[in-house]
């Protein structure tokens, strides 16, 4: 489907601009955050590879000097990236907020997947090192993401609706709840850093963390699980250009594969498994929003039950 007037032609599903008159770009620059609707698992079975990629894969998450992302109707999680290059990026309200400022009724979790940098939240400056996370609570008005002085700046974020203001807090891997799972024999030896979870700090519904696979291990979240109470988003990184991750999604008895590259994210609806196998090891950020804050609330699926 296409939305059209004489100035602009937009693909209504992906929000990609197909045609735009030059003067229109200045007047009404495209919303940097596109909307994606929820999917029914019955419909999902009929999707082609490209339909699955359009609806769930987020390919270009980092645009120079911009915040870009996807507003998912799955628990209204916003999944995106901030890539300041030679100027700071300001967190502005987006059309979907219909609010004065982005965090008026939202919370946000940011994980630094690039060089050490600074984030200012209502005048307070936070130094955020590589693989460190910052939680910013509801009500914070002025958030500025600065370019790093030492290397490329890549900030990945998830934002969920929030109804209470909790304090802004930086969490490093030292403060995280750390769990090591799997084994090299099962090619799934990995360390899970629970960064922004309720055993570490207070959030309304957001939970975020990072999982690092050991060299030689390629499988994440295997055995698989679902959690109908919460949706989830995965963002893969620490993967070089020669390698890729085969991300598995779908109901346990109807799985499909999404081939993913470095710095790409994927939306996992509550009814879907979310597991991957890489052609090398890698790291990923997981983030969830929904009914409860119980990380362990998962419905496990036996490897032999997958179809
Ligand atoms: O619901 C929790 C999430 O799917 C992830 O934390 C799982 C994960 O990182 C892993 O097993 O490697
Ligand atoms: Zn999960």
DSSP 214: P
| 111, part of any domain | no
pLDDT band at 31 (very low <50, low <70, confident <90, very high): confident
User: What average pLDDT does this structure show over 287-291?
Assistant: 98
Mean per-residue pLDDT of the chain: 94
Going by alpha carbons, the residue nearest to atom 3 of ligand 1 is: 286
The pLDDT, as a whole number, for residue 26 is 45
Give domain status of residue 211, yes or no: yes
pLDDT in tens, 222-254: 999 999 999 999 999 999 999 999 999 999 999
CA distance 181 to 298: 15
Q: What is the CATH number of the domain that holds 204?
A: 2.60.120.10
Residues with CB under 6 A from ligand 1: 181, 190, 192, 209, 211, 220-221, 232, 274, 286, 298
**What distance, in Å, lies between the first and last C-alpha atoms of the chain?**
32
Nearest CA to ligand 1 atom 10: 221
Query: Over the stretch 57-66, which tens digit does the pLDDT of each residue have?
Result: 999 999 999 9
Domain annotation covers residue 67: no
pTM value is 0.91
Residue 281, token pair as written in the block: 């090891």
What tens digit of pLDDT does each residue of 83-125 get?
A: 999 999 999 999 999 999 999 999 999 999 999 999 999 999 9
Query: Does residue 267 form part of some domain?
Result: yes
User: What does the alpha-carbon distance between residue 80 and residue 66 come to, in Å, rounded to a whole number?
Assistant: 10
Is residue 206 included in any domain, yes or no?
yes
Q: Is the pLDDT of residue 159 over 80?
A: yes
The answer, yes or no, to whether residue 24 has pLDDT greater than 60, is: no
User: What pLDDT is attached to residue 27?
Assistant: 40
Q: Answer whether 86's CB lies under 8 Å from 283's CB.
A: no
Using the mean position of ligand 2's atoms as its centre, give its distance from the Cα of residue 105 in Å: 25
Q: For residue 14, list its beta bridge partners.
A: none
Q: Dump the DSSP string for 268-289.
A: E-TTSEEEEEESS--EEEEEEE
Structural domain includes residue 88: no
Tokens of 108: 């946000």
User: Residue 53 belongs to what H/E stretch?
Assistant: helix 49-56
Residue 18 has a pLDDT of 65
Pairing of strands 33-36, 67-72: parallel
* Structural domain for 25, as ranges: 1-30
| Residue 299, SS3 per DSSP | strand
Q: How far is CA 44 from CA 2, 58, 252, in A?
A: 22, 17, 12
Give how many domains the chain has, as a whole number.
2
Q: Is residue 63 part of a domain?
A: no
Report the pLDDT averaged over residues 186-191: 98
Would 215 be classed as within a structural domain?
yes
Q: Say what the pLDDT of residue 1 is.
A: 39
* Peptide linkage before 218 cis (omega within 30 of 0): no
Instruction: Report whether 236 contacts 259 (CB < 8 A).
Output: no
pLDDT at 21 over 80: no
Please state, for a pLDDT cut of 90, what percent of the chain lies above it.
Answer: 90
- Of all protein residues, the one whose alpha carbon is nearest to atom 5 of ligand 1 is 286
Interatomic CA distance for residues 113 and 128, integer angstroms? 10
């Amino acid at each position: 489907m296409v939305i059209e007037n004489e100035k602009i032609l937009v693909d209504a599903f992906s929000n990609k601009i197909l045609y735009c008159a030059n003067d229109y770009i200045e007047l009404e620059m495209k919303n940097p955050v596109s909307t994606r609707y929820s999917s029914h698992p019955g419909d999902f079975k009929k999707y082609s590879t490209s339909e699955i990629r359009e609806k769930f894969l987020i390919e270009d998450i980092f645009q120079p000097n911009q915040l870009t992302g996807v507003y998912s109707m799955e628990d209204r999680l916003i999944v995106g990236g901030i890539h300041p290059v030679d100027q700071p990026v300001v967190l502005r309200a987006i059309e979907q907020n219909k609010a004065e400022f982005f965090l008026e009724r939202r919370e946000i979790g940011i994980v630094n997947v690039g060089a050490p940098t600074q984030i200012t939240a209502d005048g307070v400056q936070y130094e955020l090192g590589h693989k460190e996370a910052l939680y910013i609570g509801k009500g914070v008005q002025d958030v500025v993401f600065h370019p790093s002085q030492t290397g490329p700046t890549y900030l990945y974020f998830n934002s969920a609706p929030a109804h209470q203001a909790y304090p802004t807090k930086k969490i490093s891997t030292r403060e995280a709840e750390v769990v090591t799972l799997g084994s090299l024999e099962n090619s799934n030896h990995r360390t899970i850093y629970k960064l922004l979870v309720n055993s570490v700090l207070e959030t309304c519904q957001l939970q975020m963390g990072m999982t690092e696979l050991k060299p030689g291990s390629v499988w994440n979240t295997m055995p698989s699980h679902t959690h109908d109470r919460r949706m989830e988003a995965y963002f893969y990184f620490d993967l070089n250009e020669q390698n890729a991750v085969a991300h598995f999604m779908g109901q346990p008895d109807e799985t499909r594969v999404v081939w993913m590259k470095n710095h790409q994210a994927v939306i996992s609806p509550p009814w879907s498994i979310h597991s991957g196998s890489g052609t090398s090891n890698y790291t990923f950020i997981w983030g969830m929003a929904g009914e409860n804050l119980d990380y362990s609330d998962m419905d496990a699926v036996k490897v032999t039950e997958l179809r």
